[in-house]
Amino acid sequence: MTLLAPRTASVRTRPNPEIADWVDDIARLTTPDEVVWVDGSTAEWDRLTKEMVAQGTLIRLNPEWRPNSFLARSDPADVARVEDRTFICSVDPDDAGPTNNWRAPSIMRLELSELFSRSMRGRTMYVIPFSMGPVGGDLSQFGVQITDSPYVVASMALMTRVGDDALQAMTPGTPWVPALHSVGVPLIDDNGVRRDDTAWPHNETKYICHFPETREIWSFGSGYGGNALLGKKCFALRIASVMARDEGWMAEHMLIVRVTSPEKKVFHLAAAFPSACGKTNLAMLAPTIPGWKVETIGDDIAWMRPGPDGRLRAINPERGFFGVAPGTGPSTNPTATQTIWGNTIFTNVALRDDGDVWWEGLTDSPPAHATDWEGNDWTPASGTRAAHPNGRFTVTADQCPSIADEWNSPDGVVIDAILFGGRRPSTVPLVSQARSWQQGVFMGATMASETTAAATGEVGRLRHDPFAMLPFAGYNMADYFAHWIAMGELLGDKAPQIFSVNWFRTDADGRFIWPGFSENARVIEWIVGRLEGDLAARATPIGGLPLAHELNLEGLSVGVDEIQAIIDLDKPAWQREAAAIAEYFGTFDETRFPAELRRELDRLTRDLGPDVTPS
């Protein structure tokens, strides 16, 4: 029988008894060889990365090209978030709602307890105290993650504020979220026989479970991204969205940027785009148009709360970026390219023969030879991808050359505008402005986007992804819509303006019409022009649209006709869209669904007029 797991001497702060008791309980359940408290120090990083290199989990990159950086290759069966294995375990299934997978908490707990039982045999159990947001900030929250994956420990150390500062601040009575994670591969079997570890242990059975009432996370079987770095999607979105609903704030899948105009006026924008739809890129935008400056505050998640002046303030609860590598290069995102100069963990990208990394889009011409993300020989003639489409870099935000001074401010920044966008090859115009908060919420609620490699499953399938939160809302989506309506009422005339954007319209050959990336600054310029009241908009049923001559297209190689087509209202397409929205709204419980959104749909349908296009 295993008794209490020993505590190592690495911890300088005595954990509060509630944390210590939970850790003891989990150690009793999972029976690791030892328990290590993570302190977030450089020495710890060095020790862990060295151990992982020796073990085969990490490859040290050539320090001449990429100092203190590593490549991890995951198991090909563990490469992205697993939405079909993600569960909201509320007591009442209606509190999870029609867009979430649900399991009864008592049953799920039993099943998980069986899976976690002795799941860490032969391994080290790490305890990671962490803060989402600056430690002790009014908008910040605490968590403690337990994991048996050193890769997760090193990644959490880049992505969140981990270690003694957070632990010390968690005094008795301070709320904290317990987040339990195991890759689910014990190294000692039931007969006591030890087996060798693999480079990327994971279990075929995966469960990413959230208990909204008790604010707990249990994640089993995966070591990848949002499945395993539990501060990110599990806590900062699924659990935090429940806290936010109860406490009158918002936890959103949004980037945050600080924009300075040529007149030196400062604006802050938050933007919700679904996974792998351009948040990191917009967050690091390097404007092509003169006089404009964009600085980064966050690239994935925003926590927003009305401040003392009644205006919405936002923090980035994270401390690093877990960014999509493919497509990231000096021509698309020079800022990200500079950010990852060193101290970076790369996952599922290719290894060059000179010991640096490579992926599609990093350079115009591929290396003549490389080792692909699965460890196979690769040449441009291979006909396969060198990097996995969801290959990623993990790096701290403070390495980003465009990081704003305010990114670490516990009070956050005042949000002037909120943008919603997705991958829409047709229908949704380049940019439109909601006439009201209610229409803005309608824009968010009716977002749809093509699926990407950020989650397992089919890529390129158009699906509804309201507020880019489909996989991340921790409660009933209809209640979430109602919460947005309620926040608008709370904010009143101090509420941010809301816009819809779409960088992804395609032509008959399937090519993107809008050049995107740095050129998105032109759309930001139009949005700021609207905030300032300097520019006009054509009122249409889908919101205010730009006048072509007021959109700065100087120096763009795209034809005016092509631009006109993506900034106009495509009426037949919108008539079809309105019908699809009506059907979608019908999937929600009538009694929970906000009347405001139905009114918006009625108004849209009426204003578009009858569908006269022959089908």
Q: Which residues are catalytic?
A: 277
Binds ligand GTP (CB under 6 A): choice among 126, 130, 224, 273: 273
> Which range binds ligand GTP by CB under 6 A, 70-78, 275-283, 489-497, 581-589?
275-283
Rounded least distance, CB 257 to ligand GTP, Å = 12
Query: Which stretches of the chain bind ligand SPV, using CB under 6 A?
Result: 81, 225-226, 232-233, 275, 300, 322, 454
Question: Does residue number 279 form part of the binding site for ligand GTP (CB under 6 A)?
Answer: yes
Nearest to 570 by CA among 498, 468, 502: 502
The mark string for 555-574 relative to ligand GTP (x by CB under 6 A, - otherwise) is --------------------
Nearest to 366 by CA among 349, 380, 352: 380
Say whether 292 sits in a helix, a strand or coil: coil
Nearest to 446 by CA among 309, 568, 600, 567: 600
Would you say 279 or 352 has its CB closer to ligand GTP? 279
Rounded least distance, CB 253 to Mn ion, Å = 6
DSSP E strand boundaries for 301-435: 302-306, 312-315, 320-324, 345-347, 350-352, 357-358, 370-371, 377-378, 392-396, 413-414, 417-421, 431-433
Binders of ligand GTP among 292-311, rule CB under 6 A?
299-300
Binders of Mn ion among 280-339, rule CB under 5 A?
300
Residue 250's alpha-carbon distances to 149, 197, 254, 385, in angstroms, are: 31, 41, 11, 38
Question: Does residue number 275 form part of the binding site for ligand GTP (CB under 6 A)?
Answer: yes
Nearest to 128 by CA among 214, 229, 273: 229
Binding partner at 81 among Mn ion, ligand GTP, ligand SPV, none, C-beta below 5 to 8 Å by kind: ligand SPV
Rounded least distance, CB 80 to ligand SPV, Å = 7
Rounded to 5°, the CA angle 476-268-433 comes to 65
The encoded tokens of residue 121 equal 């045999």
Q: Which residues contact 243 (CB under 8 A, 6 or more apart)?
A: 141, 215, 249, 251
Rounded least distance, CB 329 to ligand GTP, Å = 8
**Radius of gyration (C-alpha) of the chain in whole angstroms:** 24
Binds ligand GTP (CB under 6 A): choice among 48, 152, 153, 324: 324
Binders of ligand GTP among 474-513, rule CB under 6 A?
503, 512
Question: What is the maximum span of the chain, computed from C-alpha positions, in angstroms?
Answer: 77
The single-letter code of the amino acid at 365 is S
Would you say 122 or 471 has its CB closer to ligand GTP? 471
How buried is 147 (Cβ within 10 angstroms: 0-12 exposed, 13-18 middle, 19+ buried)? buried
CB-CB contact of 262 with 408 (8 Å): no
The mark string for 239-278 relative to Mn ion (x by CB under 5 A, - otherwise) is ------------------------------------x---
Rounded to 5°, the CA angle 325-326-330 comes to 80
d(CA 239, CA 226): 13
Would you say 299 or 600 has its CB closer to Mn ion? 299
Rounded least distance, CB 238 to Mn ion, Å = 13
Binds ligand GTP (CB under 6 A): choice among 90, 182, 280, 296: 280
Q: Which residues contact 42 (CB under 8 A, 6 or more apart)?
A: none
Rounded least distance, CB 381 to ligand SPV, Å = 31
Binders of ligand GTP among 438-467, rule CB under 6 A?
454
Size of the site for ligand GTP (CB under 6 A): 21
Question: Does residue number 69 form part of the binding site for ligand GTP (CB under 6 A)?
Answer: no
> Which range binds ligand GTP by CB under 6 A, 101-109, 164-172, 321-329, 536-544?
321-329
Binding partner at 233 among ligand GTP, Mn ion, ligand SPV, none, C-beta below 5 to 8 Å by kind: ligand SPV
Rounded least distance, CB 334 to ligand GTP, Å = 12
Residues that bind Mn ion (CB under 5 A): 275, 300
Residues that bind ligand GTP (CB under 6 A): 273, 275-281, 299-300, 323-324, 326-327, 332, 454, 503, 512, 516-517, 520
